[in-house]
Amino acid sequence: MSIIAEKTTQVVSEINQACLATGRHPSEVALLAVSKTRSANEVREAYQQGLTRFGENYLQEALDKIQELDDLPLEWHFIGPVQSNKTRQIAEAFDWVHSVDRLKIARRLSEQRPTDLPDLNVCLQVNIDDESSKSGCSPDEALELARAIAALPHICLRGLMAIPAASDDETVQRLAFAKVRELAERIRANGLAMDTLSMGMSGDLAAAIAEGSTLVRIGTALFGPRAAKG
């Protein structure tokens, strides 16, 4: 059995266990394979293990892979910081963008989404720990931003995305994810339909699932450690 096959089995079983532990059904949690820095062949191997959703951070690398793999029925998610001069290529090539954190970016994606494609799925990225160095809107602006994004044509606001500060302590992890869940509940209570909580990575997926994640973004646990990117 290949390494990716083994690791995929492990991650799927970790997700299933986390669901079982909190009374959720595994079908409620999608697995996004984060394939940044991985070759097209590694993605192909992961696809052979049943994975169909792939997440990328670096646009040019992603576009090359998407082209090389266009014989496969894959769903591509952009999860890295979005520069405004890159929105057209993102709107043309991706199915989802998880990292929208300002209205200007959402407007450009909306205007530039080709009308012959389905609406682009977007998540609003929230800086839940208020670390000034990270991307994401502040929790205080999330409701107004979500309202404005939901009103735009050609894109569909699906939910919130967050990357909390790394911690080995599951209690700390859960507190941060609970804040994201509560924020999403507040936004929904204001009449906005959202079905996605994009949260949880290799080191904190169980905590994220316990707090309602509907999509975990997993790189290292599927593909092994990444080489440092300069």
Ligand X SMILES: *Cc1c(COP(=O)(O)O)cnc(C)c1O
Binding residues for ligand X, rule: CB under 6 A, are: 34, 36, 57, 79, 163, 201-203, 217-221
Q: In angstroms, what is the minimal distance from the CB of 102 to ligand X?
A: 17
Burial of 126 (0-12, 13-18, 19+ CB in 10 A): buried
Q: For ligand X, which is the closer residue by CB, 149 or 221? A: 221
| C-beta of 114 vs 226, nearer to ligand X | 226
For the bound state, the minimum distance from the C-beta of residue 205 to ligand X, rounded and expressed in Å, comes to 8
Bridging pattern class, strands 75-78 and 30-34: unpaired
What is the smallest separation between the CB atom of 76 and ligand X, expressed in angstroms? 14
User: Minimum CB separation from ligand X for residue 161, in Å?
Assistant: 8
Cβ distance to ligand X smaller for residue 58 or 111? 58
Nearest residue by C-beta to ligand X?
219
Closest approach of ligand X to the CB of residue 99, in Å: 7
CB of 159 or CB of 219, closer to ligand X:
219
CB closer to ligand X out of 26 and 203: 203
